Every structure is written in C-alpha cells, then in structure tokens.
Amino acid sequence: MKIKPTFKNTAKVERNCWWCLMFWCLLVSVFAVNSLSDEIVFKFKSPSFNGNNTSSHYLTIQNQEFNRKEALKAEIKALQDQIERDKENTTLARFIRNLESRIYSQLSRQLVENLFGEIPSDSGTLTLEGNTIVYKVEDGIITLTITDSDGNQTTISLPVGNFTF
C-alpha cells in the first residue's frame, strides 16, 4: 500500500511557518530599534593612567601625605612639651626653684650691702656657677665686670651718688 501525500497538511504547516517568520521578524525589529550600539571605548578612571589631571592628582596626594606627617610631628612635639611641663611642675622642682630664687636673692642683697651698706667695701669677687663677678669702687664709680664661663666679659659702670630716693 502506498501512501499518497496530502496537500492539506502542508498548507497548514506553511501557514504556521509563515506566522513564525513574521513573529520572529517583528521581535528582531523591535529589539533592534531599542538597542542602539556605539563603539566600545575603555577609559581609565585614575588620572595616574590616562594623564588627565595627573598633576593635580599628584599634588593632592603629596599634600595629604605632608599634612599627615606634620600632624604627627605636632602631636609628638605637644606630648614632649607636656612631659617637660609635668617634670617642671612637680613639688620637688618647684621647691628647688624657690630655694634657688631665695639664695640668689640673698647673694644679690649681700652684694648690694657690700657696695652701698654702712661700711662699703672697695672691691670684691663673687663666683657663681662658672661666672665671675668682680666689682671695684674708684672715684665714686662702681665698675662691675661679669665674666661668663666662655670668657665673654660685660662691664657695667655706675656712679655711686645717684642711688638715693
């Protein structure tokens, strides 16, 4: 038995293929219109790579590093100053400063007494912490010669009669 092809089924298949082709073309045209393409261009975002604004980028980084280092130096200096202040404000340090002040006051008072007291002396020498003070009274003028530990000299001349109130 031979089977004869029928054209009835092939027309239906052709019609279905036709609709599929139309639907496919419609889909392609809709998506093709909505998807516009352009050239793909890669650009670096970092100015270190592309050269745009590179100098300002480097300056910004350098300023940030410099400011960070300066802030650390300032913080270290502030801490060192705080430590020094704390050392100087102890009870013992204040006592020593007060004692030195009173000793220097007594020494200067004794020197003034030797120069202008009831029985003034004509000359004298005082050595204090490597410094030497030599005084002489000649013809109504007091001459103080102060020599520091390096050998530098300072001379002061004062008339005796002008120290009255």
Query: For residues 2 and 20, which has the higher predicted lDDT (pLDDT)?
Result: 20
Which pair of structure tokens corresponds to residue 68? 């960070």
E strand or H helix at 28: helix 7-34
Mean pLDDT within 29-46: 68
Structure tokens at 83: 């430590």
Sequence ranges of the domains in the chain: 54-88, 91-159
What's the average model confidence in pLDDT over 38-62? 76
Nearest to 158 by CA among 126, 110, 111, 107: 111
Give me the helices (H) in 35-90, please.
Answer: 47-50, 54-88
pTM assigned to the model = 0.42
pLDDT band for position 51 (cuts 50, 70, 90): low
Higher pLDDT, 83 or 1: 83
- Could you confirm whether domain 91-159 is CATH 3.90.1750? no
pLDDT of residue 81 exceeding 90, the answer is yes
pLDDT at 9: 62
> From CA 101, how far away is CA 121, in angstroms rounded?
25
Contact at 8 Å (CB) between 140 and 134? no
Contact criterion met (CB below 8 Å) for 136 and 120: no
User: With bands split at pLDDT 50, 70 and 90, how would you rate the model's confidence at 66?
Assistant: very high
Q: Which residue has the higher pLDDT, 150 or 73?
A: 73
Share of the chain above pLDDT 90, in %: 21
